[in-house]
Copies of this chain bind each other. A is one copy, B any other.
Amino acid sequence: MNEHYRILIHCNDEKGLVYKVSSIFFHRNLNIISNNEFVDKTHNKFFMRSEVAGEIAPDMLKSELSAILPKNTHLEVIAPRKKRIVLMATKESHALGDILIRYEAGELDCHIVGVVSNYDLLEPLVSKFDIPFYTVSHEGCDRDEHEQRVLQKLSELGEIDYIVLAKYMRILTPRFVETYEDKIINIHHSFLPAFIGANPYKQAYERGVKIIGATAHFVNNHLDEGPIIAQDVIHVNHAYGWEEMQRLGRDVEKIVLSKALKMALEDRIFVHANKTIIF
């Protein structure tokens, strides 16, 4: 019964938290594989993520930790398992393809339940990897009807840990976002908060920026304004047209999205005050 657990603690800061938590680890003879803590002094919040191994049932460990932690602590004791992921995409294959190649190589510790798209364009690619592809066309129906059909499809796919928007080019309604709160990871093809909205590469080109980037973030009700998980950039110059910026930007997009997904799969991300704390 030597088990491996990820322990996530998020609570108001107070003296002795590290002492109390590590005391349980010590007296329960748990082996600490990794340990990170952070105090957000602005909001007086304490965040801790530990990976431990040892002979203890998860319920007991959770109950012992709860006993010494402040009231209203968010506490998770996770016995790692393959998370269930749904990918959503539209027409572009780079971000989706990057995830598929990593998945095939065993780099992503998850189960990709299916890919949902409003077009059937990417079906040939996805089918190569023996992953179900569901086309939910938006043609002939309004936004609400279309989203309702997407939600229906998602609900048929069973429990979902994360929905990854791999260049899904439809705006989600608050209803959708609330259904999967803190579970939707998007890649925005821009260095947020700049160039919010449509065709950021064209906006970037017209503004004459010398750097372009991409942002992976959780989706909340305010479009493009959810907590940022990862960002990266590349340098450009006057000789780059916006299509070339877009082409080069795709390399940043896919790496940043895959990085964000990996961190989510490893339970490394806390969300607080519309920001992420990542260990």
Contacts and interface: CB of A to CB of B under 8 A. Distances in A.
Interface of A: 15-16, 18-20, 22-23, 25-26, 29, 31-32, 35, 37-42, 92-94, 97-98, 100-102, 104-105, 107, 125, 128-129, 191-195, 206-211, 213, 227-233, 235, 237-239, 241, 247, 251, 255, 258-259, 273-278
Given A207-B275, A208-B274, A210-B228, 7 more contacts: A40-B238, A93-B101, A97-B97, A97-B105, A192-B209, A211-B213, A238-B277
Contacts of A35: 18, 37
A93 B104 contact: yes
Contact of A275 (B31, B93, B128, B208): B208
Contacts of A208: 227-228, 273-276
Given A26-B19, A93-B101, A107-B247, A211 B238 contact: no
Complex copy number for this chain: 4
Contacts of A239: 38
A18 B213 CA distance: 34
Contacts of A20: 26
Contacts of A231: 209-211
Contact of A237 (B100, B125, B210, B278): B278
A18 B15 contact: no
21 contacts: A15-B26, A18-B18, A18-B22, A19-B19, A19-B23, A19-B26, A23-B23, A32-B39, A35-B37, A38-B238, A93-B101, A93-B105, A94-B105, A97-B105, A100-B101, A192-B194, A193-B209, A210-B228, A211-B233, A237-B278, A251-B259
A231 to B, nearest CB: 4
A25 B29 contact: no
Contacts of A227: 208
A15 to B, nearest CB: 7
Nearest to A190: B194
A228 B255 contact: no
Given A98-B98, A101-B97, A191-B194, A278 B238 contact: yes
A255 B229 CA distance: 21
A103 to B, nearest CB: 10
Nearest to A195: B193
